[in-house]
Chains A and B, each alone.
Chain A
Amino acid sequence: MSSLIKEREHQVFTKGRDDYKISAEKVSAAGSVSQRACVFCGSRVVLYPIADALHLVHGPIGCAAYTWDIRGALSSGPELHRKSFSTDLREEDVIFGGEKKLYRSLKRLIPKYNPNAVFVYSTCIVGIIGDDVEAVCSKVAAEEGISVIPVHSEGFKGTKKDGYRAACKALMRLIKTGSTIPRNKGSKPVINILGEFNLAGESWIIKKYYKKMGIEVGAILTGDGRVEQIRQAANAELNIVQCSGSLKYLAKDMKEEWGIPFKQVSFFGIEDTASALYTVAESFPDNPEIMEKTKSLVQSELSKAYPILENYRKDLTGKKAAVYVGGAFKAFSMLRSLKFLGVSVVLMGSQTGSAEEYEEMKEMADPGTVIVDDSNPSELSAFIQQLGVDLFVGGVKERPMAFKLGIAFCDHNHERKIALAGFEGMLNFAKEIHNSLTSRVWQTIDEARESDPWKI
């Protein structure tokens, strides 16, 4: 295929035909129309949902402007995270340094907004001009008496994944400012949920399940996040990690620091959601009541969902899907969910999957499935046409491309407007792909494609 970039040979894999290890976590080939973003973007999306913190972007205006309220991470209370604060660095700052401007900005913002913590994001330029962001932050922290945490997210220092890592480091610093609370005997087990961002209110759905199981959710990192809850995160007995790419680093660090075990889960799809709940229940064997409650919860949810999903399956069976998402772990859930609905996945990939994740993906995929790492639009659209894809599951940059090709689309990225997590999320997912796949607009295009409708 001519649209394949040579350096990407080992980032495109066809199951049943190729037998090499997919090379992952490679820097994108210069000149490719990559769908990936930068380190800053990775940090920003992870920390963004912390609603009572002030997020100050230290850099030229663009970095702040493009990340202003673009993520549907809902808050049940404060909404400080939805504003855009920037030091708006100008030419003179690049020459003389931006530390003063950063200091002044913080000194002005903190008394005005009274945030519970501040995150200061370093952008490309800050890394180059060498501002000592760390020093400014600790100075202001001492003067104002609140946590002012630098996020070392200079855009060029790696990939989006390194941004996740920088965000995890920042979170770890915040958690370390918390205190240990002695636990009362007989109180409910406490867990944290990592890598859940409350898009379209998904955290609330998940929280509700655990509550019904008799589990207390301590902190959600970072969906509907609050500084104080995050500070207490080290008091939990278990961390469950969703969206493996972003918060696994934190889970590992917390295990090392406080011995808190973690389990990787997913809330996308019926099976994965059920298994996420059972995984937690099994972690508290001394408390058999939890397992009982979990069983009855899952049973009741499934008996509600099955008949509805069965109806969708009738229309969806035999359709072919492409899944291209940020992290690979989510793609696994998508694969299972789509299979459940009778849809086969013929193309799948991610922006930032790891080599191990791709091995797993190979295992799960049907023969003939094409797997791509860090793909680009021309590659994706060529495969879509070649493989006869009917439905694309992806994000903002893929949506119009899919529509132009005349195929259905489901947004499974941060712009989604409907909750896709949990049992009810699966119903929404089925409904959304059903609506898109069965839309009459595709027939209109087909008519145009087959015969010029205005030709007499």
Chain B
Amino acid sequence: MLLRHTPAEVAERKALTINPAKTCQPIGAMYASFGIHGCLPHSHGSQGCCAYHRSTLTRHYKEPVMASTSSFTEGASVFGGQSNLIAALNTIFTVYNPDVVAVHTTCLSETIGDDVTQIKKKAFDDGKIPEGKRIVNVSTPSYVGSHVTGFAGMCAAIAKEFCVPTEEKTDQINLIPGWVEPADMRELKRLMKEMNVPMVMYPDTSGVLDTPMTGEHDMFPKGGTTIEQLETTGSSFHTFALGKFGSEDAAREIQRIAKTPFDVMDLPIGIRATDRFLMKVSEITGMPVPDSITDERGRAVDLIADMQQYFSGKKVALFGDPDQLFALTEFLLDIDMKPVHIVSGTPGKYFSQKMSEIIDDEVPTANYRNGSRADTFLLHQWIKNEPVDLLIGNSYGKYIARDEDIPFVRMGFPIVDRIGHQYFPTVGYSGAIRIAENILNALMDRQDRDAPEERFELVM
């Protein structure tokens, strides 16, 4: 047993995180950067950070992940990273020639006090940046927030760089999808198209981190939101930010620049969250939800009704990122399941406030915690005290699932030991079907595995 040392008794820890349910800001910033067309993410720090983020994203997407680094040395950390960054930008534009470089910082460059905004200005002033090229930058020290806040920060930085305010607004909306998969972004675009809602969505990693096989390796794939599209965010008449943790900062930034009103919605995971999102879009844009989408909803609900007996009353433990957990917890309740333990490594007081609204009345005994020391070690301890029928989380959940022999559904980031997350959305009604399917498969496989021969059923 890999986790044999995990004791059931939960003791408060002041220091120390064991088996984290989060990672650091820069990787989130890097992921968001891939949602811009022709963008090279750049890590201003040691080489290792960049290599680790690229490896992790590669393992998750099975795709080439291109990003550059300032390659800090001892000298840079004493004298500052300015010359490294300027040299890096020179190399990047000479060799790789992206349209945009998205610079994020690391704990190292932050602590030595590099002011990237200033360095960037100097590079432009000194004529080091070729005509028409753009640089986005965001501060993402690893000791603040989590990968989720790094993502949110980069989304806001993109708005800051590209959003061009106009007095006259168009009938277009801005959609900030939050940290979801390329497949989810594709699905959100489809839903908006289905509703005939003109929109610009960013970041959009579809077509960047799920590229088709062509026999060519393109450093800057076809996908991603273009600069031209990004510039129109300031003329859109409304912004929808999906997920408070991942997208609110960007919506606020657009509002600051272009006075564009916004709504922060839950990620449209599950039936009700999707209902709310689509109805709000319909209300704001005046575009009705078409029958085709109503039918999708109907199919999702039909599936849940058909299989309701298998979900009913099953206890679930889940971990991951706050925006996903809010919507997912609500969905689990809606399909008669009982979330009992919920953990997120991402800090923020809003988490417990919101989670309390979702779950306290439904499951008064539920455990939920976020921030420092809210790790999968704690989750495992909770599970030991109150066993569950299902575990939902990223690949790191597999240790707990194996040790405690719990059916396990993979959702979140990273997923490094299964495929599917790249191709099938979990947002929208079709996403709800996918989640329900995965849960059912896990539960029913378990039932089959454990059934004594006389109760081993063909029809379920």
Contact = CB atoms under 8 A, between A and B. Distances in A.
B146 interface: yes
A128 B47 contact: no
Nearest to B142: A60
Interface in A45-74: 59-68, 70
A112 interface: yes
Interface centre among A40, A79, A86, A88 (most CB of B within 10 A): A88
B367 interface: no
Interface of A: 2-7, 27-41, 59-68, 70, 79-80, 82-91, 93-94, 100-102, 104-105, 108-109, 112-113, 123-125, 127-129, 155-160, 377-378, 381, 396-397, 399-401, 403-406, 445-446, 448-449
B47 A31 contact: no
Given A41-B48, A397-B65, A449-B215, A30 B55 contact: no
B192 interface: no
A33 B66 contact: yes
Given A3-B95, A91-B144, A128-B111, A109 B16 contact: yes
A331 B55 CA distance: 21
B144 to A, nearest CB: 5
A68 to B, nearest CB: 7
Contacts of B197: none
A41 B51 contact: yes
A194 to B, nearest CB: 24
Interface stretch (B69-77, B288-296, B332-340, B357-365): B69-77
Contact of B46 (A88, A101, A156, A446): A156
Given A62-B24, A62-B49, A86-B20, A406 B213 contact: yes
A442 to B, nearest CB: 9
Nearest to B113: A128
A385 to B, nearest CB: 9
Contacts of B95: 2-5, 31-32, 378
A113 B5 contact: yes
Contacts of B217: 377, 381, 401, 404-405
B143 A90 contact: yes
B203 interface: no
B71 A29 contact: yes
Nearest to B219: A378
A80 B5 contact: yes
Interface string B56-70: 101101111111111
8 contacts: A31-B69, A38-B46, A62-B27, A86-B17, A89-B107, A101-B15, A101-B16, A378-B96
Contact of B48 (A4, A37, A446): A37
Nearest to A92: B143
Contact of B143 (A94, A400, A448): A94
Contacts of B285: none
B216 interface: yes
Contacts of B65: 397, 400
Contact of A445 (B77, B213, B345): B213
A31 B70 contact: yes
Interface string B106-130: 1110011000000000000000000
A130 B85 CA distance: 24
Contacts of A378: 66, 95-96, 219
B84 to A, nearest CB: 5
A116 to B, nearest CB: 14
Contact of B63 (A6, A29, A85, A400): A400
A146 to B, nearest CB: 16
A64 B345 CA distance: 14
Interface in B203-226: 211, 213-217, 219
B16 A29 contact: no
Given A94-B111, A397-B55, A406 B49 contact: no
Nearest to B66: A33
Given A68-B396, A91-B141, A377-B219, 12 more contacts: A6-B94, A31-B89, A39-B46, A40-B48, A59-B142, A61-B20, A65-B20, A86-B16, A124-B72, A156-B76, A156-B77, A400-B63
Interface of B: 2-3, 5, 7, 13-20, 22-24, 26-27, 40, 42, 45-56, 58-59, 61-74, 76-77, 84-85, 87-92, 94-96, 106-108, 111-112, 141-144, 146, 211, 213-217, 219, 345, 372-373, 396
B23 A104 contact: no
A363 to B, nearest CB: 30
Contacts of B40: 33
A27 to B, nearest CB: 5
Contacts of B19: 68, 83-84
In the A-B complex, the 7 residue pairs with the smallest Cβ-Cβ separation, listed nearest first, are A38-B48, A62-B24, A31-B91, A31-B88, A60-B142, A155-B46, A66-B52
A108 B15 contact: yes
B45 A124 contact: yes
A66 B90 contact: no
A399 B91 CA distance: 25
Contacts of B63: 400, 404
Contacts of B68: 31-33
A33 B91 CA distance: 10
Contacts of A3: 95
Given A65-B24, A66-B23, A84 B14 contact: no
A201 to B, nearest CB: 17
Nearest to A101: B15
A59 to B, nearest CB: 7
B385 to A, nearest CB: 18
Given A62-B24, A84-B18, A396-B55, A32 B91 contact: yes
Contacts of B23: 61-62, 65-66
A85 B91 contact: no
Nearest to A41: B48
A158 B7 CA distance: 40
A33 B53 CA distance: 12
Contacts of A108: 13, 15-16
B211 to A, nearest CB: 7
A148 B237 CA distance: 60
A451 B123 CA distance: 46
A28 B17 contact: no
Nearest to A65: B23
Contacts of B91: 5, 7, 29-32
Contacts of B64: 377, 397, 400-401, 404
Interface centre among B40, B72, B141, B217 (most CB of A within 10 A): B217
B61 to A, nearest CB: 8
B20 A84 contact: yes
Nearest to A351: B51
Interface centre among B3, B13, B20, B42 (most CB of A within 10 A): B20
Interface centre among A90, A109, A445 (most CB of B within 10 A): A90
A31 B94 CA distance: 10
A292 B416 CA distance: 47
Contacts of A123: 107
Given A62-B142, A113-B5, A377-B217, A158 B71 contact: no
B58 A400 contact: yes
Contact of A87 (B16, B22, B26, B72): B16
A34 B20 CA distance: 27
Contacts of A5: 91, 94-95
A41 B213 contact: no
A372 to B, nearest CB: 15
A199 B354 CA distance: 45
A219 B428 CA distance: 56
A30 B15 contact: no
A129 B74 CA distance: 14
B92 A125 contact: no
A125 B108 contact: yes
Nearest to B70: A30
A101 B15 CA distance: 5
A60 B107 contact: yes
Nearest to A108: B16
A32 B71 contact: yes
A86 B18 CA distance: 6
